[in-house]
Amino acid sequence: MALIRQRKLTKQQLRRIDKQQAQQQESIDGSLMDGVVMAHYGKQLEVQVTSLPAIIPNPPVVAEGEPEPFWQAIELGDIWRCHVRTNLPMLATGDKVRWVADPNTGFGRIESVQPRTSLVSRPDRYHKLKPVAANVDILAIVFAPLPAAAPNLIDRYLVVCHHADVKPLLVLNKADLLAIEDYAFTKNLLNEYQSLGYEAVLTAAPCPENILLNPTQSNSKQAIDSAKLTDIEPLQQQAELGLTDLQQQIKDKLVIFAGQSGVGKSTLVNALLPNSDQSVNVISTNSKLGQHTTTTSRLLPFNPEDLTQGGIVDTPGIREYGIWHLTPDDIIAGFVELYPLAGDCQFRDCKHTHNSKGCALWEAVAEGKVMQRRVESLVTLQAEADTPTY
C-alpha cells in the first residue's frame, strides 16, 4: 500500500496557521466566563453565570421589515442549558466551570472544570462510579423516629463522608415525636453518635409525613395527641430552635441532605428555602416507609444572586448510595472508633465477624469500649463492598 506523503509547508504557511490558531484561541478566551453547575440532565446541564466574558457579543442589527432573530443576552445570575466538551470528565452539580455561551441559540458549551475541593460519588445501575455533587462542605444525614431510623444507613453515609472529604452533620428530624415512648430508641441512637464526636441538631419542620393516611394506626397522630403535653412542648421548642441551629451550621456552606425516603429531607429544604417548592409525600400506611420524591440533583442557593453564600444540593435518596466501589479497608476507615483497633487483630485479613479468632474489635466490645452494633454494621458493609457486582 502506498504511503500518503505529508505535504511540506513553507515558513509563510506555518506562520499563517499559527496566527489563525492564536486568533481562534483569543476569541475563545475572550468569550469564556465562570459558572456553577446547578442541575444535571444527562447530556445537558444547567449552568448559572457567575462572571461575564471579556468580550460581550452584540445583538445582530436587523434591517427594517426583517423578522427579529432569536437572541439571548448574557447577564449575571442567568441560568443556561449547556453541553460539555467530549474530553472533559463527568461533571456534577456544584462544579465550578469555564464556559462559552451562544446568544444565537441560547445554549452554552462547558470548556473546562475548576479543581474540586470535594466530590461525592456513587455507583450507578451499571456499576460505574458517577459524581453526585462537587465542592460540598457538609453532608447532612437526616433521620427520624418515623420511619424508623436505620443505623446501618447512617453508618453508610458516614463512610461516604469520610471518603468524599465532607463534614457529616446528623439531623434528627420530627423531633416532636421523641416524647412518645415507642420512639426513645431514636434519641438513644443520636446520643451514641454524639459520643463518637459527630455533631447533631434536632429539628421538627412542619411535616406531612408525620401524619399517616390511616389515623387508627398505633404510630399515628393519635399517639402524639395521647402523649403528655408537658412532655411534648419542651421538645417542640427545642426543635424550633434546632431549625435555627441548623441554619447556623450550614450558613455559607454547600450542603447535601441525605437519608432514607420519608424522613423529611424535602420538607426541611422547604423550611430553609421557602421558595424552593420541593415535592413532599406522606408516609405509606402499609410499609411505614417514605415515598421517594426527588429525582434530579439540583443546587438550591441560599442567595440566587451570590452563590458564594452556599446552598443545598437536593439529591436522590437511599437507593442511590451503593458502596460497591469501596474495599473492605476503605469501609473500616470510615468507622472512626474501630479503625485504630483493626491493626491489633491477630490476623491481618481478619473479617471482624463474631467468631473471628483474635479480633481486636470484638475484644473491645467485650470490654465495653466500642458498641457491638457498630462492629456488626461494619461487617455488613464490608461484606457488601467485597461482593462481586454481577
The answer to whether the CB of 99 falls within 8 A of the CB of 92 is no
DSSP secondary structure string for all residues of 166-200: -EEEEEE--GGGGGSGGGHHHHHHHHHHHHTT--E
Enumerate the β-bridge partners of residue 129: 123
Known binding residue 260? Answer is yes
Known binding residue 352? Answer is yes
Known binding residue 175? Answer is yes
Known binding residue 94? Answer is no
The answer to whether the CB of 147 falls within 8 A of the CB of 289 is yes
Residue 52: how many other CB atoms lie within 10 Å? 13
Please return the burial class of 113, using the count of CB atoms within 10 Å of its CB with bins 0-12, 13-18 and 19+. Answer: buried
Known binding residue 263? Answer is yes
Sequence-distant (6+) residues with CB within 8 A of 55 are 27, 30, 31
246: three-class secondary structure by DSSP = helix
Known binding residue 174? Answer is yes
- Give residue for cell 393519635: 222
Angle formed at CA 352 by CA 348 and CA 356, multiple of 5 degrees: 85
CA contacts within 13 A on the Cβ side of 47: 33
Angle formed at CA 256 by CA 204 and CA 271, multiple of 5 degrees: 30
Known binding residue 176? Answer is yes
Give the residue among 52, 112, 59 at the shortest CA–CA distance from 82.
112
Known binding residue 265? Answer is yes
Q: Is the preceding omega at residue 147 within 30 degrees of 0, hence cis?
A: yes
Known binding residue 359? Answer is yes
Q: How many helices (H) and strands (E) does the chain have?
A: 10, 13
Known binding residue 259? Answer is yes
Known binding residue 21? Answer is no
Task: Pick out the residues of the known binding site for Zn(2+).
Answer: 345, 350, 352, 359
Task: Pick out the residues of the known binding site.
Answer: 173-176, 259-267, 345, 350, 352, 359
Task: Pick out the residues of the known binding site for GTP.
Answer: 173-176, 259-267
